[in-house]
């Protein structure tokens, strides 16, 4: 019973890896991969994460501001201002 899960994982990995290793002389879905394609793809990944972090930080800042405003209103209600 202890070897069942690792065995299933290994067999599944081997079955799914076989098509990735075969065919088209190493050519991917986009075509022949050269340095230019890899460079632009990597640049796109870097730009995506920079933009994602900036947008999520701005969103978190707005949500924190709303939370603080709601807390201030609740405090004023309790204190009676």
Tens digits of residue pLDDT in 2-21 = 889 999 999 999 888 877 66
Residue 49's pLDDT is 98
Q: Residue 26 above 80 pLDDT?
A: no
User: Exposed, middle or buried: residue 13 (CB in 10 Å: 0-12, 13-18, 19+)?
Assistant: exposed
- Answer yes or no: pTM beyond 0.75: no
Going by the DSSP 8-state scheme, the letter that residue 73 receives in this structure is H
Is residue 60 pLDDT above 80, yes or no? yes
Average pLDDT, the chain: 88
Alpha-carbon distance 29 to 41, whole Å? 14
In this prediction, residue 31 has a pLDDT band, given cuts at 50, 70 and 90, of confident
H runs (alpha helix) in 1-81: 4-21, 35-79
Q: Report whether 72 contacts 65 (CB < 8 A).
A: no
């Amino acid at each position: 019973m202890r070897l069942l899960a690792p065995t299933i994982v290994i067999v599944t990995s081997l079955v799914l890896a076989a098509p990735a290793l075969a065919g088209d002389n190493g050519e991917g879905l986009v075509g022949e991969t050269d340095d230019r394609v890899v460079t632009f793809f990597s640049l796109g990944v870097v730009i995506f994460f920079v933009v994602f972090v900036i947008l999520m930080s701005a969103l978190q800042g707005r949500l924190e501001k709303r939370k603080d405003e709601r807390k201030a209103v609740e405090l004023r209600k309790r204190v009676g201002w």
